[in-house]
Structure 1
Amino acid sequence: MILTALAAAATFDPEAATRAYLATLNGAARAKSDAYFEGGYWLLLWGAVVTVLISWAELRFGWSAKWSGWAGRVTQRRWLRPALYALPFVLVTALLTLPWSIYTDFIREHQYGLSNQNLAQWGGDQLKGLLIQLIVFPLVLMAIFAVIRRSPRRWWLWATLIVSAFIMVGAVIAPVFIAPLFNTYKPMAAGPLRDQILGMAHANHIPADNVYVFDASKQTKRISANVSGLGPTIRISLNDNLLNRTSPAEVKAVMGHEMGHYVLGHVWRNLIAFTAVFLVLFLLLWWSAPRLLARYGSRWGVREVADPASLPLLMAIASVLFLLMTPVLNTIVRTDEAEADAFGLNAAREPDGFAAVSMKLSEYRKISPGPVEEFIFFDHPSGENRVRRAMEWKARQLNETR
């Protein structure tokens, strides 16, 4: 046994092992993967363009001003008007965005063989999402416009805290109340793999006594898992694609990665990081929106930012700012993902499982981008980097046995 380990350590070349894994994706499969992911770069741009055009139409044709006027006629309570305004805004915006959504989320997914839904099934999920938006968005809007009215000079600060608070509440309630609206969650069948997943969780002080499997295969071919929730809503979940399309070693590698997010406190760190992002965003909105309204507001029937009718303008500016901040947002997430990768390798001790599942993810992620490309467009480490780090981890473990 010792001699075998010594021989393996002496002959194992992590770079050669990495190339061997990368060679399993070639020809038409690699071209398809690259085309899908690279097409997503343009979707970022055109998505922002669509948002700006729809926002312009809502302002230019006076729809936004009419919705605000209708809300004012329905109620004399000024604090309630943004919530009422949100109803036609969400419905009309969703309708205008629908052709774009059908292309990006349904047609394109089928073109690349990633979707398992027919149009009616996809539309049903979209309708559920719309109903949730009709409940949540009025509350968010009501809170934000309240601070815009009451603190004209510092509303950007209070709006940031409001959005962060909603994100935190969403993280708590989503696993229990939102996710089951789209998928059925069932306890994972008893067996060695379930015991190994829970063993990893308990070894890393994750307070979970069950593992849930959800039926994502009714929607997509993608593999996925997560450790979601906060406090009493913490839940370890993996989708049925992960169970059905990967080996036990790959499942353990993925679950080790997901546990890393929880143990390393990425939920809280991301909340802080994205709070800083929203602070910059709202500060720029606070600075730019009044200047644009001073120039064009009379044409749109919008006099001030405190009027809910200004929302399309705020959304248009925000979409452009988010586009420009793409490298920053991706770097925040990619950094956490790289840390979770390292944690998962140590927790699961399945480097080949992690390398193999990284190759499976290349169905919809470009495997070998350039460094600038990865910095700008990747919110996860590239498949090549993930495989290489797994093989380097394996080499270190083999060397430690020498």
Structure 2
Amino acid sequence: MKVWGQGMGAALAVGILGAALGACLVPVAAHAAAFDPVAATQAYLDTVPADARAKSNAYFEGGYWLQLWRFLVSLAVAAIFLAGGLARRLRDRLAGLGRFATPVFFIAYTVIDYVLSLPYVAYADWYRERQYGLMNQTFGDWFGDQMIQLAISSLIGALVVWVLYAIVRRLGRSWWVWASAFGVVVLVLMIVVTPVFVAPLFNKYEPMKPGPVREALLSMARSNEVPATDVYEFNASRQSNKISANVSGLFGTTRISLTDTLLQRCTLAEIKAVMGHEMGHYVLNHVFVLLLYLSLLVCFGYLFVDRVFGRLTRGGRWGVTGLGDVAGLPLVVILFTAYFFVLTPVLNTIIRTQEAEADAFGLNLSREPDGFATVALKLAEYRKLQPGAWEEIVFYDHPSGYNRILRAMRWKAENLPAAEAPAPAEPAPGHAPAEPKP
């Protein structure tokens, strides 16, 4: 009887547990059946007017051709320097400067290259952007920023090239190994210096005023050990309508920065989704992972130059006497340009993979799948929403809008107990969404 009683008790306990589990599982099953991530994704895509989608598709697909034209322009400039004898004559004229000839040659080369490329650059980076309603600057303002960029790249580049040519001339066949190591040091220094000293040359950075947005972002940062004690807003609207944000810097220079366009055009849910993504890059150490990948690619790039340069300049072609001759700099540049042009799908895939990881992190941190989806639609103003599979692999350095929204809806289906059809989120306090400028 005791055994029978224990059996009955166990059966009763199992029955009660089963009933309880059944009560829990029925709503989950009903929810799973009611919420379809694919259908929810399509519902978001359907909110984009056909003309707006056609416009963003045309803009983004045109960028594919711009990559090719940019390479061809670089090739034409290299031909002017090499086949036209400009590099040889410039080297000979600067020979009297001794050891300073190399950095001065680089500065002259950079300025001449910019002048020769200006018609293309002005079309691609200013005129075309204005055509699509993405550029707010006048030509004069845009050109002013270009001059600042030219000055910075000329001066910093001159120092870097000076060291690289010293490495080539003194270390012989192993130069490409040491040049790669030096490149890593330069990249790290730029990551540290850029947010503090370079970025403020183009935009005004100010601490964000206390409020719900600032407190929400600092709370997200503290909970994930992002060592930023303030949030900065910068006036990106002086250049463009595009929305953006970042967590930048290393070794004490880490800062959270948001564009004023993000604050003006996005809801609190969208802002949290964006910043969750950006904090994901920081927490997942993507900058170091990307440094590793870039270092390897640059290392193989130097090796490629080492193997090809001598064959192309055999017999003193173009007046170039060897890899250590600064007159060969245009050839080095075009070889590197061709190398990275061919590797575009590889580099894009490396970056796109990191972006997908940051998306997943951001969804878990912000818990704002609908905010994530709606901000993806805002980004679709200048990114094709739904490319083909190979198109995304080759040309996209971020996941497509479709895949980002689908990831958000899948997260919503798995994590929110009462997922519903997409609904607009509430505006962030003090930041009502603004319509994009035409």
| TM-score (normalised: structure 2) | 0.87
How far does the alpha carbon of each residue in 1:275-298 deviate from its partner, in whole angstroms, 9 at most, with x for none? 011011111000001110005x33
1:71 lines up with 2:94 in the alignment? yes
- Decide whether the 8 Å contact of 2:363 with 2:372 is kept in 1: yes
Q: For 1:219-368, list aligned pairs within 5 A.
A: 219-294=239-314, 297-298=316-317, 300-368=318-386
Tell me the CA shift for residue 398 of structure 1.
2.8
Hey, what does 2:18 align to over in structure 1? none
Q: Distance in 2 between matches of 1:400 and 1:30?
A: 31
Q: Distance in 1 between matches of 2:49 and 2:64?
A: 22
> 1:338 corresponds to which letter in structure 2?
A
Tell me the CA shift for residue 9 of structure 1.
5.7
Q: Distance in 2 between matches of 1:26 and 1:285?
A: 48
1:391 lines up with 2:409 in the alignment? yes
1:190 lines up with 2:213 in the alignment? no
Alignment length (residue pairs):
394
Tell me the CA shift for residue 134 of structure 1.
1.9
1:164 lines up with 2:187 in the alignment? no
- Decide whether the 8 Å contact of 2:94 with 2:105 is kept in 1: yes
Q: Distance in 1 between matches of 2:79 and 2:122?
A: 21
Q: Distance in 2 between matches of 1:264 and 1:33?
A: 31
> Percent identity, aligned pairs only?
48
Hey, what does 1:34 align to over in structure 2? 57
Q: Distance in 2 between matches of 1:310 and 1:359?
A: 46
Q: Distance in 2 between matches of 1:349 and 1:62?
A: 60
Q: Distance in 2 between matches of 1:185 and 1:398?
A: 37
The structure whose Rg is larger is 2
**Per the alignment, in what secondary structure is the counterpart of residue 356 of structure 2?**
helix
- Decide whether the 8 Å contact of 1:81 with 1:142 is kept in 2: no
**Per the alignment, in what secondary structure is the counterpart of residue 206 of structure 2?**
strand
How far does the alpha carbon of each residue in 1:298-333 deviate from its partner, in whole angstroms, 9 at most, with x for none? 3x2211110111000111111111110000000110
> 2:175 corresponds to which letter in structure 1?
W
Q: Distance in 1 between matches of 2:86 and 2:412?
A: 60
- Decide whether the 8 Å contact of 2:64 with 2:395 is kept in 1: yes
**What CA RMSD, in Å, does the superposition of the two structures yield over aligned residues?**
1.6
- Flag structure 2 segments of 5+ consecutive residues without an equivalent: 1-23, 420-438
- Decide whether the 8 Å contact of 2:31 with 2:418 is kept in 1: no
How far does the alpha carbon of each residue in 1:1-28 deviate from its partner, in whole angstroms, 9 at most, with x for none? x99x867565222111100001112311
Tell me the CA shift for residue 242 of structure 1.
0.4
> 1:17 corresponds to which letter in structure 2?
A
Q: Distance in 2 between matches of 1:175 and 1:398?
A: 37
Q: For 1:10-25, list aligned pairs within 5 A.
A: 11-25=34-48
> 2:199 corresponds to which letter in structure 1?
A
- Decide whether the 8 Å contact of 2:272 with 2:368 is kept in 1: yes
Aligned mate of 2:130, from 74, 85, 110: 110
Q: Distance in 2 between matches of 1:27 and 1:161?
A: 50
- Decide whether the 8 Å contact of 2:234 with 2:258 is kept in 1: yes
Q: Distance in 1 between matches of 2:208 and 2:417?
A: 36
- Decide whether the 8 Å contact of 2:107 with 2:155 is kept in 1: no
> 2:133 corresponds to which letter in structure 1?
G
Q: Distance in 2 between matches of 1:400 and 1:276?
A: 46
How far does the alpha carbon of each residue in 1:104-148 deviate from its partner, in whole angstroms, 9 at most, with x for none? 000110111100000000001000001101210111111111111
Hey, what does 1:89 align to over in structure 2? 109
Q: Distance in 2 between matches of 1:71 and 1:212?
A: 45
- Decide whether the 8 Å contact of 2:245 with 2:259 is kept in 1: yes
Q: Distance in 2 between matches of 1:272 and 1:87?
A: 29
- Decide whether the 8 Å contact of 1:362 with 1:383 is kept in 2: yes
> 1:128 corresponds to which letter in structure 2?
I
Q: Tell me whether 252-261 or 23-32 shows the greater mean CA deviation.
A: 23-32
Aligned mate of 2:219, from 193, 199, 210: 199
Q: Tell me whether 62-71 or 137-146 shows the greater mean CA deviation.
A: 62-71
Hey, what does 1:380 align to over in structure 2? 398
Hey, what does 2:81 align to over in structure 1? 58
Q: Distance in 2 between matches of 1:71 and 1:265?
A: 44
| TM-score (normalised: structure 1) | 0.95
1:150 lines up with 2:201 in the alignment? no
> 1:236 corresponds to which letter in structure 2?
I
**Per the alignment, in what secondary structure is the counterpart of residue 257 of structure 2?**
strand
How far does the alpha carbon of each residue in 1:73-95 deviate from its partner, in whole angstroms, 9 at most, with x for none? 122x3xx3311211211111111
> 1:72 corresponds to which letter in structure 2?
A
- Decide whether the 8 Å contact of 2:35 with 2:413 is kept in 1: yes
